[in-house]
Chain A
């Protein structure tokens, strides 16, 4: 258990540094798509929500299932909506050569 906590923290710290490094290179003109794209990625909670919605719970099982289902719905909104709207926006960014049809 303790070792697992160390590993998870390790991953956390490295990803934070990586995140700062990556995001600081995104130009200001793409900051809105960056935010909506980040929204989509934060829908990753979905992977965790499956466990709550689908597991056979010992105590108070029904309530946990309902909570999990709601979590699945919320996270899916983020994933589906986030990626679609980001794509819609990015499709609008055209360079000069593309712009002249």
Chain B
């Protein structure tokens, strides 16, 4: 090992330490920003160390690649709306997968490719490829460029099994005789890309938090595989940190929906069993009456869902929250783990509207004290506040943990119409004794209440 290589490898240790430190500081919103900065310094060190590798003969193409990537990345990061973060993260997952795929592919052009290297190259191509197409499809579904409904057809499992068998077969053939010109290589490449598509089409729009987390994890695992292919420590360390992060998030999302990962991945979401028919009367309320109740409330809790993002209502919500606080009420924002289209989506939107993070509370914190809440305001959330999940054993969402807003003294539901949530299940909350429906666009309804305070 030359001196330069030695220094490069020591620098990798420093960057690994910085990544770990950065992730540790992400443990609290107060230190998180500094943590991200440390992590980026770690990346800078790793990149510079990578550039010193003795095999690099020319830098022109590297510079071209970095320039293109920096411009695209910086523009995307600057221009993206906070409501579109899930789409953005989906695309980033895809480009991470794509990069690992390409590194694996290029490694096949090396003169000596051992069987071990070939196996890791195949893994990098497989995981990178399916992350790439899977993420692109997830992006399409999230941005509603394609239908976000789950696509399930008969024989889907058979088709998927055939793809897997094909992958294993052509993978073995390629590992025996690794060459980028081999027909087996193209088989592995094509089938991996196809597998990504097949993996995401049966998953419906509201299950996207699980898919994004899972693809996030895959992009890390792909980097790991690429690290094995080119014998690079830092790729393995960083890749496995990312892989672990994605898997933990996937697990949290699945638990929050009371479904197994297999159920999310393979079954779509069919409301097979119909829950009990709901009896009762919907009680609409006017903006003016809502104002009178809120004016007298001492404890108000907002429960946002994807509908808040769609209506872009986060800023008016925060405005109303401030008015209520000035009026002497205690205000909190209760966020269900699967509210929105990715983990933590609602938190970012409310942070964007300047809601202090102390006011953002988790489901497990709010539920024990929900009886003390005078008014719970539901904005564009449905299934995550559906009491059937707790009470009706026949309901398809039975067992899913929910925010028990029906136990609050009064519940306002801001809703466009009486349509049901993604599961297609009726929500008895809307017929509850203490529930009042405020129909209309969430943003307009809240603005209306604010002007009553005016």
CB-defined contacts of A23 to chain B, threshold 8 Å: 23, 241, 244-245, 248-249
CB-defined contacts of A68 to chain B, threshold 8 Å: 61, 65, 102-103, 106
CB-defined contacts of A83 to chain B, threshold 8 Å: 36, 39-40, 43
B114 sits at the interface (CB 8 A): yes
CB-defined contacts of B82 to chain A, threshold 8 Å: 89, 92
CB-defined contacts of A74 to chain B, threshold 8 Å: 69, 95-96, 98-99, 102
The size class of the interface chain A forms with chain B is 35 or more
CB-defined contacts of A99 to chain B, threshold 8 Å: 354, 356
Are B55 and A67 touching (Cβ within 8 A)?
no
B212 sits at the interface (CB 8 A): yes
Asked if A51 meets B53 with Cβ closer than 8 Å, knowing A12-B236, A72-B69, A74-B99, the reply is yes
A:1-41 near B, CB below 8 Å? 1, 4-5, 8, 11-12, 15-16, 18-20, 22-41
Are B232 and A16 touching (Cβ within 8 A)?
no
Q: In whole angstroms, what is the CA distance A66 to B65 when docked?
A: 10
Q: How far is the CB of A15 from chain B (nearest CB, A)?
A: 4
CB-defined contacts of A27 to chain B, threshold 8 Å: 27-29
Name the one of B226, B244, B352, B358 contacting A20, with C-beta atoms under 8 angstroms. B244
Query: Can you show 26 pairs from A to B with CB atoms below 8 A apart?
Result: A4-B231, A11-B236, A16-B243, A27-B28, A32-B348, A34-B245, A34-B344, A35-B246, A38-B220, A38-B246, A48-B103, A49-B106, A51-B56, A73-B65, A73-B68, A74-B99, A75-B96, A76-B69, A77-B72, A81-B92, A82-B77, A85-B88, A87-B40, A98-B356, A99-B354, A99-B356
Name the one of A1, A57, A67, A93 contacting B105, with C-beta atoms under 8 angstroms. A67
Are B69 and A77 touching (Cβ within 8 A)?
yes
Name the one of A32, A41, A56, A66 contacting B43, with C-beta atoms under 8 angstroms. A41
B73 sits at the interface (CB 8 A): yes
B19 sits at the interface (CB 8 A): yes
B10 sits at the interface (CB 8 A): no
Q: How far is the CB of B302 from chain A (nearest CB, A)?
A: 15
Are B241 and A19 touching (Cβ within 8 A)?
yes
Residue of A with least CB distance to B36: A86
Asked if A80 meets B73 with Cβ closer than 8 Å, knowing A30-B29, A36-B88, the reply is yes
Are B89 and A78 touching (Cβ within 8 A)?
no
